[in-house]
Each structure stands twice: as structure tokens, then as C-alpha cells.
Amino acid sequence: MRHVEPVVSLIAKPQIDWEAIDAYLDEVGGRSWSDRVQNAPSPDAEDLLEFSGRMCYRSWEPGLNPNVSRVRTDSAAYLGNVIGSQHGSVLEHANFTFILHNVSRVLTHELIRHRAGCAYSQESLRYVRLDEVPFWFPEWAREDEELMERSLKVLETLEEHQKWMAEHFKLDEEGTNFAHKKHMTSFMRRFAPEGLGTGIVYTANLRSLRHVVEMRTAPGAEEEIRLVFDKIGRIMQQEAPAIFADYTVEDGAWLPGTRKA
């Protein structure tokens, strides 16, 4: 048994093709918006949201839409208004992809309930054979000596059983075909605890991320998922500060100034 800590890594985020946007704006008008935003320090994710929101009203600059005589030129203020007016569909254009490493299947079973605006690719224990049982214990559990002693014995027994089954089924003998390995590995996973550390690739758009950060850091949420989404929330404050500017954090709970649209 190996003690592990949940790790969150951001591995992909939006990148704008400014040449394509400029070509479009040269045709319909609004190139001044592009020139201004490209010279600003705002991340591409936020620029993409602003572009998409301005598409709705053709509000890249005054005069393009006769009904719009004045436009906001401060991008953070513009996006703050998008959040405040609950124009949530605009937030769906920007996707972020994370690796959640050393998280339990307790967490992933809860996480995949959030389907709208999300995509998942999880390590499959039908194919991935276990030779150890990585496991996360919360701090309060690590401080309980009797609990830890008993729990570690259980995990060591399960780990040893995985190794025994691999030998018993002759999985490493030369000539053993993959179909047999897959069949036996699928059976062996039934003896893996739900708290086993695993990995999942998680992609979500900003609308979904705001919702899940709020839901899964709430006081009643399971403690591991609270830990993970606190990490995600802190990453997103760096990656899309204008979109997460309305949050306050109280005792680990992320509270938005404006509820999800």
C-alpha cells in the first residue's frame, strides 16, 4: 500500500487563432476591438468569451449595430456584466482539461454525474492490472492510530491478493494472450477498494466549472472532492480571473457572487 495525495494538473486550455478573427472582423467591422484586446494581458479563454458575447449584439465597437450607441471597452467589466446578467451560454465556449491524479473511484463516481459540458476518460481497471493499492487518507484518519493500523492491514491483504491472482492466472508467463489477461484483470478489479487511487482526464467548459466548483466545495460535499475542486478553483482564478472574480471562499466553500445561469 502506498499513501498518495490527490493532484490536479491543467493540461489544455483555449488558444485563439487571431488571424481568423481579424479576417472576420475586417469583413464585418470591429477590428479595433481585436487590436485592443490582443495588446492586453487577458488570457485567450476570456478573449474568446468576450468575442462570443459581442457576437450576440455586434458590439465590438460603436456604430456596427444601430441599436448600440455605446460599448464597454474594459474587458474585465464586460465579462463581469456577462456573469452578473447570467448570460451563461457564453461561458460554454471555453474548455479546460485537467488530469486528476491519485483520486479515488469514490471521487470519480461522483464527478461523472456532472455530464453537461464535460468529458471524461478514466483509467480502466479492466485493462490496467494492479500491483499495488495507492490510497489517500484524510489528515483526521492519519491521526487515528488504531484506525490506520487496521486499515493498512486490510489494504496490504488486498494488495497481496492482487499479486497472488496475477501469479495464479499465469498472467506474466510467456505466451499468455491478451484476451486471457483482459478477462482475468477484469475479474481482479472486483477486489480493488473504491478508495483506490486512480486517474481521470476531465474536460469542462467555464459554465460547468463554475457550477461544479460551487457544488463540490460546499460544506456537505465529500471531503476528497472538496479538496480537489478547491485546487481546480484556484487554478481557474489564475487562468480566467475575470470569470472567477466574484467568488469568495469561506471555510473551503466557494461562494459565487452570482449563481450559475
Q: Which of 129, 207, 216, 226 is catalytic?
A: 216
pTM for the full predicted model: 0.93
User: What pLDDT does residue 70 have?
Assistant: 86
Its sign, for the CA torsion 194, 197, 203, 206, is positive
Contacts of 53 (CB under 8 A, 6+ apart): 78, 79, 82, 87, 90
Integer distance in angstroms from the first to the last C-alpha of the chain?
44
Q: Is 207 assigned a catalytic role?
A: no
* Average pLDDT by stretches of 10, the chain with 261 residues: 96 97 95 94 96 93 88 91 88 97 97 95 96 96 98 97 97 96 97 97 97 97 98 98 96 85 43
Domain boundaries, the chain: 15-92, 126-191
Which residues are bridge partners to 249 per DSSP? 254
